[in-house]
Chain A
């Protein structure tokens, strides 16, 4: 149980285009989903916290107009990188916290590698 999927697993796009990444909790409902970014050989940096039915909360320095987050249901959150540029190339990972569980554990997706040419 507690599986989180991401789609796509990798994407290559041209500079200036927008890319949407999906994060799904497959066998549980997630009150909260988190989006992280990881540059090569570096750690994960929290970008934003996404609560179902409300606006995402962005970390300092993360442009909310560039990284659009939509948490439309208890099992799906999407991250759209708008007008992507090469510096947005990174590994994007989501995580989900189960609604019904009294647990501090988050479950992570497998990540999406974005390459902007």
Chain B
């Protein structure tokens, strides 16, 4: 069953601006991952944050995790047109490595 919910569903920003996407989930997790999908293509793994971590950085990406609120955010700084894609959060099922994906945020970065 789907448990991740991202918001906003769609986000349109100008190049150079920051983009923030949020994800909420319902059950306990071991970790939360963010993926990117260009239209009609496979998924690219962006970043994984474990349940005992609160913040993680990777290049222009910053992910936070609040397990008390069962929520996470993905921040893309200094966005580029090439960042245009759909972004999904995914949570694992404890002990199984099966992922449950959120509905995704479609990000459009306007040059």
Taking Cβ atoms with an 8 Å cutoff, the residues of A that contact B are: 6, 32, 34, 36, 42-46, 49, 60, 91, 93, 95, 97, 104-111, 113
Contacts and interface: CB of A to CB of B under 8 A. Distances in A.
Contacts of B101: 36, 43-45
30 contacts: A6-B42, A32-B97, A34-B99, A36-B101, A43-B4, A43-B103, A44-B43, A44-B88, A45-B101, A46-B98, A46-B99, A46-B100, A49-B96, A60-B1, A91-B40, A93-B42, A95-B43, A95-B99, A97-B97, A104-B30, A105-B33, A105-B45, A106-B45, A106-B97, A106-B99, A107-B45, A108-B42, A108-B45, A110-B41, A111-B42
Give 4 closest A-B pairs by Cβ, nearest first. Answer: A110-B42, A108-B43, A44-B101, A43-B101
A104 B31 contact: yes
Contacts of A104: 30-31, 33, 48, 92, 97
Chain A interface, DSSP helix/strand/loop, else mixed: strand
Given A6-B42, A108-B44, 7 more contacts: A43-B4, A43-B102, A46-B99, A105-B33, A106-B99, A108-B45, A111-B40
A14 B21 CA distance: 40
Contact of A109 (B35, B42, B48, B99): B42
Interface string B14-51: 00000000000000001101010000111111001000
